[in-house]
Amino acid sequence: MIKKINIDITGMHCASCSTLITNTLNKVDGVKYANVNLTTNKATIEFVKDSVNEKTLINTIKGKGYGASISIDNDLIIDNKKEKKEYLKLKKLFYFSLIFAIPVFILGMFFMKNPIPFQDITMWALATPVQFIVAGSMYKGAFSALKNRSANMDTLIVMGTSAAYFYSVFVVLSGHGHVYFEASAVLITIVIFGRLLEAKAKGRTSEAIKKLIGLKPKMAIVIRKGKEIQIKIDDVVIGDKIIVKPGEKIPVDGIIIEGHSSIDESMITGESIPVEKLKGDLVMGATINKHGSFTFKATKIGANTTLSQIIKLIENAQGSKAPIQRFADSVSAYFVPSVLLISLITFVSWFFIFGSEFQFALITSVTVLVIACPCALGLATPTAIMVGTGKGAKNGILIKGGESLETTHKIKNIIFDKTGTITKGKPKVIDVIGGTNILKIAGSIEKSSEHPLAEAIIERAKKDKISLKKVNGFNAMVGKGVRANIGNKEYYLGNLNLMKERKVNISKFNEEINTFEKEGKTVMMLSEGKNILGLVSVADEIREEAQQTIKKLDELGIKVYMITGDNQKTAQSIAKKVGIKNVFSGVLPEDKVKHVKKLQKEGSVAMVGDGINDAPALAQADIGISMGSGTDVAMETGDIVLIRDNLLNVVKSIKLSKMTMTKIRQNMFWALFYNSLGIPIAAGVLYPFTGWLLNPMIAGAAMALSSISVVSNSLFLKAKTLI
């Protein structure tokens, strides 16, 4: 049995940390998949339950010198507290460091030529708390990495600042040379400041999910033992009768058992107009009751509510890894050791080969260590994914993972299911041919069916106040129709394929059938045995945004198809109205997969369906896009869920994918360009020609800036318009 868990990790500072833990976890027997997200500080792990357990996985992480604990499902309130605590800790460290670093900097920079008495000793005293208190966590991180025979960002900082600090101590004790206490103290202060800004910026990347958490109500009024009592939402149990008054948030998901009202569901569906709710209707937690009071029975609580499922999907997506990140991971794995080697070569070259002073060689090698920043590369992908998935959620688009987000922009062909996708999925009976008894028989047969067309017939029968008969021997034939017995008579109700299979002669209704099909209506034929009795035509209203959606997809160069079980005439009529030129008609649900596979030979394929009967095709497609207004089935099916049931969100999904990938490439380019340019300059390659040498403090500032710039660039996604 495969189990999936999230583990909170503390003590990570750079991409090398996350890469080390990821690689270590993936080597554990029984682990199928592991990814550590530097931005969220979480590990997502899929493992075989019988082969390994949670305790082993946690101990594996702790064994590498990091803190680890099981994440509580959807408990981002705890995460937010941790995040805030970490930010405040960094803030205190920064101010503490600043108190000591500023006087050290002033003494070192402005009193260099005219030193004051005991200047070097004073600088030593001021720099020491910064070196060992402020940078304490860096030393711990570096030693942990060393213990695991690896190196990380802490290794670079510790080696660089320690070299400057201990050399300066040697100078003070020997009385010869120039001290560099200001370099180590200011550098550590800059690093802490960079991490402070980075923590703040990283926190902003998860704002979308924090806002969703904020929607959750805290209390509920329940009826227990005949009394109304107010309890915490966590204490609500399934079956509780809950009272909701005007203006209140609905605590959990449930069914109205008494009263009626209009509900603002905009936070889930995006529809600004309140929805009228009557007895028997479903209500969703966190939506707002606008007018009347009502009582409902709780059916879903805690992590099972619609809102919690949405939050979970976003959380999983933000913790996932896009394929493009593999490049960053492979670079990060070799980056720090390479920098250490370059730093050593720099020192050896200047001191032993070119005969420079020891101080000069030391400073250049320290500057190389300092300027190198694998964090920027490590943050390039996850920050963009977090902002991208968050922006998607804000627009009613739930993207289930980094891979889905990356793949979506590659789509060449897109297939739309007709019923419930191109159309609203709420068909109505338009014509009844063959007498009033036709509707009575058809309604009686279909009352045992859950098909949307069946619902339309039953709805019309109710409207016409037709009393339905008892049936037996009901049998649904997928993609064709139904059969049932009324008394001793056998009836069939379905499409042309069913009539052909039953060898029913339909010639007397050919004219009506052709007319209805040309008008885009779905024709259902009723037969008694092999005798045709009549017709029922059903039409499904086309979504208002369908035509605009198809037009925009055409503009993006994506080839659009429609697939349906309807006959060719009906299918072509609908397709023509929305602007689709390519149609697969008369297709059975199980055959939709074949058409997806065929198109995949031409390029990446997206399938857009309602998430129920289209499940196999959605799974086969490179990207499955489910319509569903946040339904359970839609949540489980497909790679992208359009919770607002708006087809334009298909276009938005593709554009969001393109924008996110652009940001990732920009981030990676900047990270690689920064290091490709910065490291040679730090090593002093320009010094023989220009006499210019990079100061370690400037290198430290540049290092911090590189990470912040990557995160900030990802945040620019928020301001982008999708259509």
Active site residues: 417
Which strand (E) or helix (H) includes residue 256? strand 253-259
Question: What does the buried/exposed string (b/e) look like for 385-422 if buried means 16 or more CB atoms within 10 Å of the residue's CB?
Answer: bbbbbbbbbebbbbbbbbbbbbbbbebebbbbbbbbbb
d(CA 666, CA 423): 39
d(CA 583, CA 623): 20
Closest to 420 (Cα-Cα) out of 651, 655, 615, 636: 615
Q: Are 482 and 490 in contact (CB under 8 A)?
A: no
Name the DSSP letter for residue 234.
Answer: G
Both tokens of residue 221? 């009024």
Apex CA 356: angle with CA 351 and CA 360, to 5°?
A: 90
3-state helix, strand, coil in the chain (%, to 5): 55, 20, 25
d(CA 587, CA 595): 9
Q: Quick check: helix, strand or coil at residue 10?
A: strand
100 contact partners, CB below 8 Å, separation of at least 6: 126, 127, 129, 130, 185
d(CA 624, CA 44): 22
Q: For 611, left (φ over 0), alpha (ψ -120 to 50), or beta?
A: left
d(CA 122, CA 55): 49
Q: Name residue, tokens 């868990």.
A: 5
d(CA 362, CA 343): 9
Q: Quick check: helix, strand or coil at residue 545?
A: coil
CB hemisphere CA count around 506 (13 angstroms): 26
d(CA 336, CA 342): 10
Q: Are 154 and 369 in contact (CB under 8 A)?
A: no
Apex CA 378: angle with CA 377 and CA 383, to 5°?
A: 105
CA dihedral (114, 119, 120, 123) positive or negative: negative
Q: Name residue, tokens 């045709």.
A: 532
d(CA 88, CA 624): 42
CA dihedral (295, 298, 300, 305) positive or negative: positive
CA dihedral (454, 455, 461, 467) positive or negative: positive
Closest to 108 (Cα-Cα) out of 124, 93, 129: 124
Both tokens of residue 132? 């060992």
The residue count for the chain = 723
